[in-house]
Amino acid sequence: MKTIKASLLFFVFLAALLIGCKENKKENQPENDMVKTESAKSHIEKSAFGETPDGQKVDKYTLTNTKGMEIDVITYGGIITRWTAPDKNGNYEDVVLGFNDLDSYFGGVPYFGALIGRYGNRIAKGQFSIDGETYTLAKNDGQNHLHGGQKGFDKVVWAAEAESTDDGASLVLTYTSADGEEGYPGKLDVKVTYTLTGDNELDIQYEAVTDKPTVVNLTQHSYFNLSGDFSKDILDNEVMLNASAYLPVDAGLIPTGEIRSVEGTPFDFTEPKAVGEEINADNEQIKRGGGYDHCWVLNGTDKNFGLAASAYHPESGRLLEVYTDEPAIQFYTGNFLDGSLSSKTGGVYGKRSGLCLETQHYPDSPNQEAFPTTRLNPGETYSSHTSFKFSTK
Ligand code: BGC
């Protein structure tokens, strides 16, 4: 009996010692120590990326697959800061606009690589009503509300968990947006899962739940430059949009409510067409956007995951395909970039040096009843699925 008791005590002691050691190890770990998660087919490395002005730590996760694609995601804004893709000779180069350091992301950056929410795109006059109650949001784009407000999901620090399996390297980002944050009703729990597959595809799954009726429209705001050379513009990229119609806008880029056929207009991208071919056309809508900055109504992708868009850079052979289950896509050609931001490679980001393909619901849906609803009720789960797939041809 005594020996059993003694050995039991010994084991308890041993266990306590082990737990103690483990905790110590955690505490003593240098803050910027690389942490690796890996499987045979993918891996993720975590490292420190800096601090926000209010002292929150920001990490960088590098997702890698066996083909050699690398994607850097930081916990600030869920921003993709670097994304390498192969050209036709197998050379991997960075194809997204962004910065090498965290500080460059503070202030005046047009949403490079960021997660956008609670409402991606514009809400007219920063106002909408739900069940008779009016909610007022920031007017951060002229008279209108844009991309979630002054401090949207692109400017908050997300919690992150990394997992590597044979299906790919996944980074799960979560954020709780408080009831009333940026004027939106309801506490919203958001989860975004980035998965880099072995097939050079970044799969993005968005989910959210609320405790009060609210509106949600999440998207990803990467600016692609498929040439891998940020000093070049994207006008020679051949873009296809699987859309027979688009949403004309007013002077403040709010949809007028009309759903207009693209046929015979510069907005027809049903067959691949160089971005520059009609970008300066004498067309009222082109003038309003300063180029393309419109939402296209996708053919049949609503709730039915399918090809929404592609962009092809003939010289490098890089082809990007975008798949989604969203009903629309904002195609923005970087018209407001003006060379005032320094690029990762020492130059500047000039006008139209990147293009965005933002899968989403229609802009201003909370105020336009004829548009598919963006309302989320308690008990429902918002879900949106998009993937960006790279190949060459
Ligand atoms: C909008 C543009 C805006 C850009 C960056 C895009 O989603 O459509 O009008 O300038 O984001 O803010």
Q: Whose CA is nearest to atom 12 of ligand 1?
A: 110
CA of 331 to the centre of ligand 1 (A): 9
What band does 23 get if pLDDT is binned at 50, 70 and 90? very low
Q: Show the CA angle centred on residue 154, arms to residues 148 and 158, nearest 5°.
A: 120
Whole-angstrom Cα distance, residue 188 to residue 191? 10
- Between CA 362 and CA 330 the distance in angstroms is 9
59: left (phi over 0), alpha (psi -120 to 50) or beta: beta
Q: Is 269 in the pocket of ligand 1 (CB under 6 A)?
A: no
Domain residue ranges of the chain, discontinuous segments joined by +: 42-392
The hierarchical CATH code for the domain 42-392 is 2.70.98.10
Closest by alpha carbon to 298, among 287, 288, 308? 308
Ligand 1 pocket, residue 110 CB under 6 Å: yes
Residue 31's pLDDT band (boundaries 50, 70, 90)?
very low
In 3D, which of 320, 352, 346, 308 has the Cα closest to residue 85? 320
Q: Among the options 181, 313, 358, 361, which is catalytic?
A: 358
Tell whether pTM > 0.85: yes
Smallest CA separation from ligand 1 atom 7, residue: 121
Torsion 136-329-190-96 (CA) sign: negative
Rg from Cα positions in the chain: 23
Out of 79, 109, 146, 295, mutate this one to test ligand 1's pocket (max ligand atoms within 8 Å of CB): namely 146
pLDDT of res. 289: 96
Mind listing the pLDDT tens digit for each residue in 198-257?
999 999 999 999 999 999 999 999 999 999 999 999 999 999 999 999 999 999 999 999
Contacts of 124 (CB under 8 A, 6+ apart): 143, 144, 145, 252, 254, 364, 367
Decide: 154 in ligand 1 pocket, CB within 6 A. no
Core vs surface per residue 263-281: b (16+ CB within 10 A) or e: eeebbbbeeebebeebbee
Instruction: Report which protein residue has its CA nearest ligand 1's atom 9.
Output: 293
Are 215 and 184 within 8 A, CB to CB?
yes
- Please work out whether the CB of residue 111 comes within 6 Å of at least one atom of ligand 1: yes
Q: Which of 221, 294, 313, 361 is catalytic?
A: 221
Closest residue by Cα to residue 167 from 323, 37, 36, 41: 41
How far does the chain reach from its first CA to its final CA, in angstroms? 76
With a 6 Å cutoff on the Cβ, whether 182 touches ligand 1 is no
- Pick the closest to residue 327 from 244, 250, 257, 388 (CA basis): 244
Given ligand 1 and candidates 145, 336, 338, 351, which is best to mutate, with the most ligand atoms within 8 Å of its CB?
Answer: 336
**CA–CA gap between residue 33 and residue 111 (Å, rounded):** 29
- Top mutation candidate among 109, 147, 292 for ligand 1, by most atoms within 8 Å of CB: 147
**Residue 221 is a catalytic residue:** yes
Quickly list DSSP for 23-76. HHHHHHS-TT--EEEE-SSEEEEEEEEEE-TT--EEEEEEEEETT--EEEEESB
Residue 147 appears among annotated catalytic residues? no
Q: Give me the count of residues in the chain.
A: 393
Q: Which atom of ligand 1 is nearest to the CA of 121?
A: 7
Which residues neighbour 41 within 8 Å (Cβ) at sequence distance 6 or greater?
65, 66, 165, 166, 167, 168, 198
Spatial distance between the Cα atoms of 265 and 257, rounded to a whole number of angstroms = 18
Q: Which of 97, 105, 109, 111 for mutating ligand 1's site (highest number of atoms within 8 Å of CB)?
A: 111
Cβ of residue 144 lying under 6 Å from some atom of ligand 1: no
- Separation CA 185–CA 258 (nearest Å): 28
- Of 226, 228, 196, 219, the closest CA to residue 114 belongs to 219
Closest Cα to atom 5 of ligand 1: 110
Residue range 369-392: average pLDDT? 98
Per-residue pLDDT at 28 exceeds 70: no
Q: Which residue has tokens 């010692």? A: 17
What's the pLDDT score for residue 4? 42
Supply the residue whose CA is at minimum distance from atom 6 of ligand 1: 332
User: Does residue 266 carry a pLDDT above 70?
Assistant: yes
- Residue 280 · residue 246 · CB < 8 Å: no
Residue range 159-200, pLDDT digits in tens? 999 988 878 999 999 999 999 999 999 999 999 999 999 999
Cis peptide before 118 (omega within 30 of 0): yes
pLDDT value for 302 = 67
Provide φ and ψ at 266, rounded to 5°: -65, -10
Q: How many CB atoms lie within 10 A of CB 330?
A: 23
The DSSP bridge partners found for residue 305 are none
